[in-house]
Amino acid sequence: MAELGRAALVVTLGLALYALVAGVYAGVARRRRFALSARNALIASFASTLVAFGVLAAGFLRRDFSLTYVADHSNRSLSGIYRLSALWGGQEGSLLLWLLILTGYSALALWINRNRAKDLVVWVTPVLAAITVGFAFLLVVVASPFALQVAPLDGAGLNPSLQNPYMMAHPLFLYLGYVGLSVPFAFAMGALLSGRTDERWIVATRRWTLLAWTTLGLGQLFGAHWAYVEVGWGGYYAWDPVENAALMPWLAATAFLHSVMIQEKRGMLKVWNVVLVSLAFCLSLFGTFITRSGVITSVHSFAQSDIGPWFLAFIIIAVAFSVAMIMWRLPLLRSTTRLESLVSREAVFLYNNLLLVALCLTILWGVAWPLLSEAVRGQSVVVGRPYFDFFLRIFGLPLLLLMGIGPLIAWRRASVRGVLRTFTWPGAIAVGTGVVLLFLGAGSSIPGLVAYTFSAFVLAAIGLEFVRGTRARRALSRESWPVALASLLSHNRRRYGGYVVHAAIVLLAIGIAGSSAYDSVSEGRLSRGQALSVGGYTVTYQGLKERDTDHATEVRAQLAVQRDGKSLGLLEAGKNSYKVAGPDPQVSSEVGVRSDYSTGEDLFVIAEQINSDGSVYFRIFVKPLVNLIWLAGIVFVLGSLVALWPDAREERRLVLRYELAGSPVRGR
């Protein structure tokens, strides 16, 4: 079976190389038959990659420890569902997943656009093929998942922290986002190579960008929840380099999604859009490099490996190619339309873009600085959490405010009087919210108070837009309010789906502000019968219990929870000791969480140290509004689905943008 997997990857590499060479020739010589051949070769590479992926999956399901990768990341006691997720729990398997998604996305994108903008797509094929060649080369030459060994009696097992349902979804969704950014990048480069720098490449990839952006955002939320319940430190985001590596392309893609609306509406910012999509793609490669190369120490990263220099070379080539293409086509990218007013929706989108990119580059500097300092000084200087928190407030709070301002301002030019009149109700609600919160004691954290006030402004602005739109629909059709609202959404899915996503970001901001600025913590060593009080809760330690499962020994401290003299039941926190090959067991912390959904707060308990005398050292948090973060994920998905949902009217409009009558690619 290993030979079949290796052969399938060699076939993928060969097909991608052919698609690259034939695609470039087809674009230069305008030979239609070579363009079709290159496209078919790249589509076929998905089938061969799927075979390789299936072989490795079969190795995990059959517990084939003659495959070194299988033995290193699973064992006989690992349950079936985690045997499958272990497939991408290591370096080689995760790269194979990257390649599978890449070839699948490439095949689907080329097939969907086979009859659209053929002069553009002919250049998209070799760009996607070049990316495929890079990853296929790594798997064939540098880090094969099909290396063989003498099969041991049992494997080393999966890292305990990865044996969590959220960790099954987290890498998968991140990769769907990372790899998804390849498609808009390929279309942007195809537009530059073909000299067709109008809006066609943006129209062709809008949903691809939305899909990649949505899955990347969900991947980060899954990872945050995993860190919250599994890592056992009391938080959900630690500004870890690998966490930041996923956040940066999401920020760049967010800026791109806003910026393309200006190009579609006004024909502006063509250079900026190509720069943003290139930045997002290169940052996705950088994120993969950070995780796979072992150049940084992180709970998320893999050990030092041989692929680091290859990946670095890949990133340098991608950056150099992007810059060269943009400089070459700069005359075609210049816009004749100019910004007419600093008080307009275009201007607000531009401010939004500048803040998003500034935050993105600030995070990039914080991630890269330890690597640069080590290369220059020979000593790694780590940038701490205060650095990132400071710039999150500096750039994040104005971004939050702009989400409320943008929808209320007209395109092209808005009068100051009209703006003030439009902002009356949202502004009054925001000020009233701030005053009430100040009297309730929220002034202990100024950034938190500002975040709450700005959030109230944005939610009021979004509500105002929905009310105005629904009222206008009712005036035209005499429909009921619910029917008019549904009709409004169905006829303006992109716009109002975006507003729902903005509401999700507001919920996220409120949850982050509440859980970080107003949380309470207490810690101490407790013997049986002793208690700790925190945030209105009293937690009494009642003793330990232990049990053995097929793959771990579980030790749990039992705690009785009370609030205002009322019993709230028992809560458990402890540790798992996993049975794996080798002399030392692997230990993970298992936190205890009691969620109060009526208030949105969590009681969060960590059993940091369990002593031989039965006492336990506990850290106990009360995190207000933290559940709004997870609720934000649900609202985020709903808004993204509304924006992504096909619209027949829009499809008809898009068809008019394509040249269906033929293609300049000619020949036989």
Domain ranges of the chain: 1-158, 520-623
Query: How far apart, in whole angstroms, are the C-alpha atoms of residue 94 and residue 145?
Result: 10
Tell me which DSSP letter residue 443 carries. Answer: G
Residue 576: its H or E element: strand 566-578
Strand, coil or helix: 617: strand
* CB distance 152 to 581 below 8 Å: yes
Query: How far apart, in whole angstroms, are the C-alpha atoms of residue 392 and residue 405?
Result: 19
For the purposes of burial, counting CB atoms within 10 Å of the CB of 615, is it exposed (0-12), middle (13-18) or buried (19 or more)? middle
Query: Which amino acid is located at 201 in the chain?
Result: W
* CA dihedral sign, ordered 514, 520, 526, 529: negative
State the Rg of the chain over Cα: 27
Tell me which DSSP letter residue 158 carries. Answer: -
Strand, coil or helix: 666: strand
Query: How far apart, in whole angstroms, are the C-alpha atoms of residue 158 and residue 618?
Result: 27
DSSP secondary structure of 450-489: HHHHHHHHHHHHHHHHHHHHHHHHHHHH---HHHHHHHHH
Q: Could you tell me the CA-to-CA distances from 285 to 178, 377, 644 in Å, in that order?
A: 8, 26, 25
Query: How far apart, in whole angstroms, are the C-alpha atoms of residue 588 and residue 574?
Result: 9
Give me 236's structure tokens: 């959900």
pLDDT, residue 659, reads 46
Query: How far apart, in whole angstroms, are the C-alpha atoms of residue 516 and residue 533?
Result: 19
Strand, coil or helix: 17: helix
DSSP secondary structure of 513-544: HHHHHS-EEEEEEE-TT-EEEETTEEEEEEEE
pLDDT, residue 197, reads 84
Give me 469's structure tokens: 């739109």
* CB distance 68 to 149 below 8 Å: yes
* CB distance 122 to 27 below 8 Å: yes
* CA dihedral sign, ordered 290, 291, 295, 297: positive
Query: Which amino acid is located at 601 in the chain?
Result: E
CA angle (353 as vertex; 291, 225 as ends), nearest 5: 40
CA angle (484 as vertex; 479, 487 as ends), nearest 5: 120
Q: Could you tell me the CA-to-CA distances from 535 to 12, 241, 623 in Å, in that order?
A: 58, 32, 9
Query: Which amino acid is located at 503 in the chain?
Result: A
* CB distance 407 to 496 below 8 Å: no
CB within 8 Å of 535: residues ≥ 6 apart: 520, 601, 603, 622
Residues constituting the chain: 668
Tell me which DSSP letter residue 573 carries. Answer: E
pLDDT, residue 396, reads 94
Tell me which DSSP letter residue 492 carries. Answer: S
* CB distance 15 to 44 below 8 Å: yes
- Complete edge-to-edge strand list for the sheet that includes strand 601-610: 520-526, 616-623, 601-610, 592-596
Strand, coil or helix: 429: helix
Q: At what angle do helices 182-194 and 308-328 cross, to 10 degrees?
A: 40
Strand, coil or helix: 622: strand
Q: Reduce the secondary structure of 26-90 to three states and give it as a string.
A: HHHHCEHHHHHHHHHHHHHHHHHHHHHHHHHHHHHHCCCCCEHHHHHHCCCCCCHHHHHHHHHCC
* CB distance 15 to 23 below 8 Å: no
- Buried residues in 342-375 as b, exposed as e (16+ CB within 10 A): ebbbbbbbbbbbebbbbbbbbbbebbeebeeeee
For the purposes of burial, counting CB atoms within 10 Å of the CB of 190, is it exposed (0-12), middle (13-18) or buried (19 or more)? buried
pLDDT, residue 651, reads 62
Question: Mean pLDDT per 10-residue run, the chain (668 residues)?
Answer: 93 97 93 93 97 94 91 83 84 92 96 84 95 95 90 82 82 92 96 88 89 95 90 84 91 94 83 95 89 59 65 92 94 79 83 95 91 77 88 94 86 74 88 91 86 95 90 82 84 88 95 90 94 93 88 89 91 84 70 89 93 93 94 95 78 56 41
pLDDT, residue 216, reads 95
CB within 8 Å of 207: residues ≥ 6 apart: 644
Q: Reduce the secondary structure of 145-212 to three states and give it as a string.
A: CCCECCCCCCCCCCCHHHCCHHHHHHHHHHHHHHHHCHHHHHHHHHHHHHCCCCCHHHHHHHHHHHHH
State in Å, rounded, how far the first CA of the chain is from the last one: 40
